[in-house]
Amino acid sequence: MLGQFVYDRLEEAAQFSQSGPGVTRLFLSPEHKQVATLIRDWMTQAGLHTEIDAAGNIIGRDAKAQQGAPTLIMGSHQDTVVCGGKYDGMLGVALPIAVIGDLYNRNIDLPFGIEIVAFGDEEGTRFQSTLVGSRALAGTFDPKALDATDDHGISVRAALRDFGCDPDAIAPLKRDRKNTLGFLEIHIEQGPVLESRDLPVGIVTALTGIERHRVLIKGKASHAGTTPMDKRQDALLAAADIIHKVNQVCHETEGMVGVVGKIEVSPNAVNVIPDTVDLTIELRAPERTVRLNGRGAILSSLGTIAQNRTVAITADKTYEAEGVPCANWMMNGLEAAIGKQGLAPLRLFSGAGHDGLAMHDLCDIGMLFVRCKDGLSHHPDEAITAADADIAAHVLAEYLQNLARFCPKLAK
Ligand code: HGY
Ligand code: MN
Ligand code: MN
């Protein structure tokens, strides 16, 4: 069963992780390097020519793609969040490789090229930048992202060089728009909808817009025992006001979610008033105006919070990706393929961001969601079943063999 084959490969890939619960595999890390060897081996077994490109993407291309034929790009990301799951990203790498390998072994020839990509950096866990790999292929990579640094002060540029990549050779990675049929990503749903409808797979209609801000709060450290309560410049208290404000605005705004997900306090000592807080704000909404209004309500409150707490607050936007729609022809092709499995073709929206947010600048995008247990993701207990992976593999095989019926660029 192809699903079990994929499931077993994902178990194998999960070993390439930092120690600790779940999977932690960051962009350009030793674990990334180790899993790259495994993924390239999978690709080679599937009859693909493999390489690691200048942006740290692991690339597999069939002979037709190598010869410049119109090409369908598939794939997802190899990187994870901290203490994440085995399937977010990697399912979308392992499954298409297995399906293409199976078609290759059965001598089933597709009338177009195939390229499968394991993008290096979708989560943005290590550096403030993200979507580095997919933006490189889409031709929208901003060289300023090379200056982003991780918690140890290592820049993307230095980490790429250390990984054996040439950061100055990223621009030529841009794919030819005319020759690219589309980008299809298989991904776990990371939400409860498919499970609640007892469906193994679903068709994604659109990806949410996302923005991230880094907020720095500067107060004044002083003795926690002798500083009068009305004389404190407590940076963490100001942070608490901001966290509540983000939560309140998101609760009050239909169609927007947000979180303060990362916070660092210093000097972080039990008996010292905190003088510095470094935190992140992330906002998501499908509608741009909703997200921008929410952003305005939150950022315009920072001045009052700074005054009330006698601190200084600065906020910098570190990431913004507009929400993007999936292409009708790709959704229709997936619908037909799912129908062939005797399943109801449910269409649903993605509250998570994906590499499709960047690939949409290059070509039409489509996504197939696969059910995950309790809708849980970004957690060690993230889980799928081999049976659902098998259904997704059959849907993909059916979709690929009928692509010419739906893809405008292949229409006769
Ligand atoms: O954050 C997201 O939506 C994705 O998992 N990177
Ligand atoms: Mn994720
Ligand atoms: Mn993901």
C-alpha pair distances (Å), 391 with each of 4, 6, 196? 11, 12, 18
Cβ atoms of residues 87 and 384 within 8 Å:
yes
Q: Do domains 2-207+323-411 and 209-321 have the same CATH topology?
A: no
- State phi, psi for 357 to the nearest 5 degrees: -60, -35
| Cα–ligand 1 centroid distance for 123 (angstroms) | 6
Distance between CA atoms of residues 145 and 167, nearest Å: 10
122 Cβ below 6 A of ligand 1: yes
Q: How many residues does the chain have?
A: 412
| Cα–ligand 3 centroid distance for 82 (angstroms) | 13
Task: Copy the structure tokens of residue 252.
Answer: 């009050």
CATH 1.10.287.130 fits 209-321, yes or no: no
Other Cβ atoms closer than 10 A to 325: 16
Ligand 1 atom closest to 122 (CA) = 6
Question: Three-state SS for 80?
Answer: coil
Distance between CA atoms of residues 391 and 371, nearest Å: 11
79 Cβ below 6 A of ligand 1: no
Q: pLDDT tens string for the chain (412 positions)?
A: 999 999 999 999 999 999 999 999 999 999 999 999 999 999 999 999 999 999 999 999 999 999 999 999 999 999 999 999 999 999 999 999 999 999 999 999 999 999 999 999 999 999 977 899 999 999 999 999 999 999 999 999 999 999 999 999 999 999 999 999 999 999 999 999 999 999 999 999 999 999 999 999 999 999 999 999 999 999 999 999 999 999 999 999 998 999 999 999 999 999 999 999 999 999 999 889 999 999 999 999 999 999 999 999 999 999 899 999 999 999 999 999 999 999 999 999 999 999 999 999 999 999 999 999 999 999 999 999 999 999 999 999 999 999 999 999 998 6
Q: The pTM is what?
A: 0.89
Closest-CA residue to 76 (of 396, 335, 332): 396
Architecture, CATH, for domain 2-207+323-411: 3-Layer(aba) Sandwich (3.40)
C-alpha pair distances (Å), 63 with each of 58, 74, 185, 215? 17, 15, 21, 48
The pLDDT of residue 213: 97
Task: Spell out the domain ranges in the chain.
Answer: 2-207+323-411, 209-321
133 Cβ below 6 A of ligand 1: no
Cβ atoms of residues 186 and 397 within 8 Å:
no
